[in-house]
Amino acid sequence: MAQVVSNTKVVLKGYVTGFPKESDLIVKTDTIELKLPEGSKGVLVKNLYLAADAHMRSQMSVAEDNFVETYIVGEPIHGYGVAKVLESGYPNLKKGDLVWGIVGWEEYHINNAPESTLFKIEHTDVPLSYYTGILGMTGMTAYVAFHVVGNVKKGDRVYITAAFGAVGQLIGQFAKALGCYVVGSAGSKEKVDLLKSKFGFDDAFNYKEEKDLDAALKRYFPEGIDVYFETVGGKMLEAALLNMRLNGRIAGIGMISQHNLEEEEGVRYLLSVITKRLTMRGFIVHDHYDLIPQYHELIVPLIKKGTIKYVEDVAEGLENGPAALVGIFQGKNVGKQVVVVARE
Ligand SMILES: NC(=O)c1ccc[n+]([C@@H]2O[C@H](COP(=O)([O-])OP(=O)(O)OC[C@H]3O[C@@H](n4cnc5c(N)ncnc54)[C@H](OP(=O)(O)O)[C@@H]3O)[C@@H](O)[C@H]2O)c1
């Protein structure tokens, strides 16, 4: 007889408009049989760590296009996490393996598409929670943005928004290591100070204190920006367009300021793309997952040596998951927002 255990989960209460609230999510407990259904090719896992990520906001709304797979009301939400395999019908994973990838926000989860959504953890001599961030999806995002899309060169003047986020903190360190002039913006004095003191940014500013973003960028980039790592969108993108140099590059990573608006802001100054001969390229990180081994080869030794710094913001327990997730849209997270389910 399979063991039946309680299973606490975070469930979507209803589709969200505007800023998400804790009350849009319900924490509830029911039971699960710790056994895969007969003939299943899926994987039963025990979740350890979950990532609160910006893309999850799009999945909380009614789908507007075919590119976003929305959550199902009444079902657990899902996202990136770290888990231990309890039973596997998938030949490439076995009981006891540690994995990172897509899991439900619940204690125990069955992933029915492990071949495309779960990755075996090969390096276990680093904190496992890092696979929710620097060693997982957001780390790969920084790597692709910098090494594949950004076309950054030594001496470039680089601007990074949401710079204290999981992606931004890493891009800034890559850019400094290459010999760039790096400025980041973030939403609090604490984050601005840490960007300079911990991550070695040349400068940083609190965008919430700037009435005129164009003037702020002119102050930090009197000669203009060569590469802009775009994570915010809206008015910030407009200000960046006005301050790009000839032949500048814009890596389109995300537009977090637009996720909670009922209608996206229109962006002015797009003519700059032509007059300044800019290259603007967006990407979705999972199209580049073939580069994971190459990225891990680079980053794991740097983490172990302490050359690369990384800051997490850790929430304990699934019951604190809703607050952690909605908090990233108000900038409450100081570093990568992790939710601990179990520390096994
Ligand atoms: N293309 C891809 O495949 C891909 C993959 C991963 C992430 N992304 C995108 O990359 C961006 C950064 O993700 P992340 O994981 O680094 O973020 P994160 O660690 O989750 O942090 C998000 C930060 O964004 C800032 N923010 C929130 N609302 C904002 C607003 N209205 N205006 C300006 N800043 C705001 C907040 O910091 P402040 O205190 O600074 O406001 C918040 O702490 C997001 O846009 C995300 O969607 C894209």
Angstrom distances, CA of residue 278 to CA of 77, 160, 168: 38, 17, 21
* Ligand 1 within 6 A of CB of 216: no
Average pLDDT over residues 231-243: 97
* Protein residue with its CA nearest to atom 15 in ligand 1: 166
pLDDT in tens, 141-190: 999 999 999 999 999 999 999 999 999 999 999 999 999 999 999 999 99
| pLDDT for 129 | 98
| Alpha-carbon gap, residue 210 to 222, rounded angstroms | 17
| pLDDT > 80? residue 67 | no
Q: Contact at 8 Å (CB) between 50 and 103?
A: yes
Sheet holding 225-230: strands in order across? Answer: 203-206, 181-186, 157-160, 225-230, 244-252, 279-282
Token readout for 336 is 């990568």
* Protein residue with its CA nearest to atom 31 in ligand 1: 257
pLDDT in tens, 202-211: 999 999 999 9
Q: Contact at 8 Å (CB) between 53 and 79?
A: yes
| pLDDT > 80? residue 64 | no
| pLDDT for 2 | 85
Q: Contact at 8 Å (CB) between 105 and 79?
A: yes
Q: How far is the CA of 164 from the centre of ligand 1 (A)?
A: 9
| pLDDT for 263 | 86
* Protein residue with its CA nearest to atom 29 in ligand 1: 257
pTM of the full structure? 0.96
Confidence band, pLDDT 50/70/90 cuts, at residue 249: very high
Q: Which atom of ligand 1 is nearest to the CA of 164?
A: 40
Q: How far is the CA of 30 from the centre of ligand 1 (A)?
A: 33
* Protein residue with its CA nearest to atom 19 in ligand 1: 165
Average pLDDT over residues 201-224: 98
Q: Contact at 8 Å (CB) between 281 and 252?
A: yes
The third-level CATH classification (topology) of the domain covering 138-286 is Rossmann fold (3.40.50)
Q: How far is the CA of 329 from the centre of ligand 1 (A)?
A: 8
pLDDT in tens, 150-163: 999 999 999 999 99
| pLDDT for 66 | 66
Q: Which atom of ligand 1 is nearest to the CA of 168?
A: 16
What ranges do the domains of the chain cover? 4-134+311-340, 138-286
| pLDDT for 1 | 75
Q: What is the mean pLDDT of the chain?
A: 96
In 180-230, the DSSP E strands lie at: 181-186, 203-206, 225-230
Average pLDDT over residues 76-85: 98
The third-level CATH classification (topology) of the domain covering 4-134+311-340 is Quinone Oxidoreductase; Chain A, domain 1 (3.90.180)
Confidence band, pLDDT 50/70/90 cuts, at residue 106: very high
CA angle 151, 154, 158 (to 5 degrees): 65
| pLDDT for 189 | 97
